[in-house]
Amino acid sequence: MSPEQPPASVDLPATHTAPVVITGATSGLGLATARAMAKQGIPLILAVRNMAKGQEVAAALLRSGVRVAVRRLDLANLATVKSFTDGLIEDGVIPRAIICNAGVQTFDRLQRSADQFELTMATNVLGHVALLDPLLSHMAPGSRVITLGSETHRGGLRAFGFPGARWSNMDELLSPTEPAPHAKDNGLVRYSTSKLACIAMAYEVDESWAARGIRAASFDPGLMPATGLACNYPNIVQRIYAVAAPLIARLPGANSVKISAENLAWLATSPEAEPLMGCYVAARKPRKSSPLSYSP
């Protein structure tokens, strides 16, 4: 993701007519962020794996009079990521911001992507790297990249007891061997490790591209129990979680999806958020991430 070639449109500042690409705009935080940006008249490209769901979301957003396009992107299938980026470049549709929002969380069973990589790392990290890599050199100065971090990368109390990241190396994380059956927290560790990588990815993009005017930050939305992220949990856990969601949402460190979406839309597009580029951001303020996240 380094700037080996000069950007194709170095003399053009990122304009307000260029769209914002948001991955995973069909549910939870992505959907609410798309709504928040549409309300402000920001043109959008919904990058979604389920076109029917994407078209439904777009139809509702179009009523606000904003420009909305839907394009297919399955982050767990690298061929579709390439078709997506090739399509944007061929059509000359270069985003002013890319919000790497889509994400999955598995439970204990190891699942693999279409390319046979571990599903969490493939979706949350590798797919987004493959998305950014060809687009960054085309983006204009003033453009932004936002990745989705999470306090789970740190683990412990601030992460509501979620197990923290266990980093090894990317090859091992993408192609792990089947975990022992008793290792119930494997899926959760894979998730927190993917979030560590998402934070580090934002730092890396920012460091490599800031000189060309393209900035990046990582956003922690806080715990939002009302989204679909726990949909791979066992049914009983999901039912308990759903009942407890209104209470959990009031705890410190938790947030409503609406407030997190407004903050994410602000971070991706507001001139006021420029000083937060290069940072891990929660509720419009910079926050230190774990020491490991700063290592290249």
Ligand X SMILES: NC(=O)c1ccc[n+]([C@@H]2O[C@H](COP(=O)([O-])OP(=O)(O)OC[C@H]3O[C@@H](n4cnc5c(N)ncnc54)[C@H](OP(=O)(O)O)[C@@H]3O)[C@@H](O)[C@H]2O)c1
Q: Select from 19, 103, 155, 164 the one that contacts ligand X (CB under 6 A).
A: 103
Report the site for ligand X in 174-233 (rule: CB under 6 A).
Answer: 221, 223-224, 227-229
For the window 128-157, what string marks contact with ligand X as x by the rule CB under 6 A? --------------------x-x-------
Taking CA atoms, 51 is separated from 46, 72, 258, in Å, by 10, 6, 24
By CB under 6 A, residue 123 contacts ligand X: yes
Q: How far apart are CA 224 and CA 155, in angstroms?
A: 16
Confirm or reject binding of residue 83 to ligand X (CB under 6 A): no
The one among 7, 30, 95, 155 contacting ligand X by CB under 6 A: 30
The count of other CB atoms within 10 Å of the CB of residue 130 is: 20
Any contact of residue 26 with ligand X (CB under 6 A)? yes
C-alpha distances (whole Å) from 93 to each of 45, 178, 212, 227, 287 are: 10, 41, 19, 30, 33
Looking up tokens 């936002």 gives 146
C-alpha distances out from residue 179 to 75, 182, 183, Å: 23, 8, 7
| Rounded-to-integer distance, Cα 148 and Cα 188, Å | 16
Query: Would you state the structure tokens that stand for residue 100, as one six-digit string?
Result: 């790497």
The minimum distance between CB 9 and ligand X, in angstroms, equals 27
Q: Does 276 bind ligand X (CB under 6 A)?
A: no
**Does 85 help bind ligand X (rule: CB under 6 A)?**
no
24 is an interface residue for ligand X by CB under 6 A: yes
In whole angstroms, the minimum distance from the beta carbon of 113 to ligand X comes to 7
The yes or no reply on residue 111 touching ligand X (CB under 6 A) is no
Q: Under the rule (CB under 6 A), what is the footprint of ligand X?
A: 23-24, 26-30, 49-50, 53, 73-76, 101-104, 123, 148, 150, 221, 223-224, 227-229
